[in-house]
Amino acid sequence: MYQSVKIFNIPTNCWIRAAIVAIAAKHVRDFEEHWQPALESMKEEDKYWDWAFKKRLSLQDDNFEGYALECEDMTQGLIMLETQWHHSQIDGKESDRLVYVENLASAPWNRIAREPIIYRGTGRALLRFARQRSLDLGYGGRVGLHSLSNAVKFYERCNMPGYGADPDKEYLDYFEYGEIEG
């Protein structure tokens, strides 16, 4: 296990333990068998993400790390991080490396767009994990990402500073957490 986290179980109205672990075949199966049909019916933009490829990439390339948030024997969230190539787009200094979130997804039953919601806090827990990885790597907590249009409000609710549409990334909105102050 990489990290123990708490997420909120809405039906029982209490916090429960979950684990963030390295992505494995079980998580890919959960995505393909349980998430994808719901994502397709919801017309979500991440329905075609290839988590099997992302898992292989995280095993074959040291620049990429894939993780899953598990709770009650089901994958509740997935995240793919790039840890070597990206730098702050805000400060522009070559020394300001950051953890770049390639992909972050919460299970369909945990999204505001779908009712009833089962767990709350899976996306936030994964985003906090990305910040912790940035600290672990000596990047000061800096995390950057480009957001799909349906997730912009989520990053705004997470108080992640937004910097507008990036013409180099199909005009996706860019968000970046800066260095954590002392």
CA-based nearest residue to 97, from 134, 124, 63, 125? 134
Q: What are the mean pLDDT values of the chain's consecutive 10-residue runs (182 residues total)? A: 90 96 96 91 83 93 96 96 91 80 95 84 97 95 94 95 92 94 73
In whole angstroms, give the CA distance from residue 66 to residue 22: 6
Q: Which pLDDT value is given to residue 5?
A: 96
Domains of the chain listed by start with CATH number: 3-177 (3.40.630.30)
Q: Which pLDDT value is given to residue 182?
A: 65
Q: Which pLDDT value is given to residue 40?
A: 85
In whole angstroms, give the CA distance from residue 90 to residue 144: 10
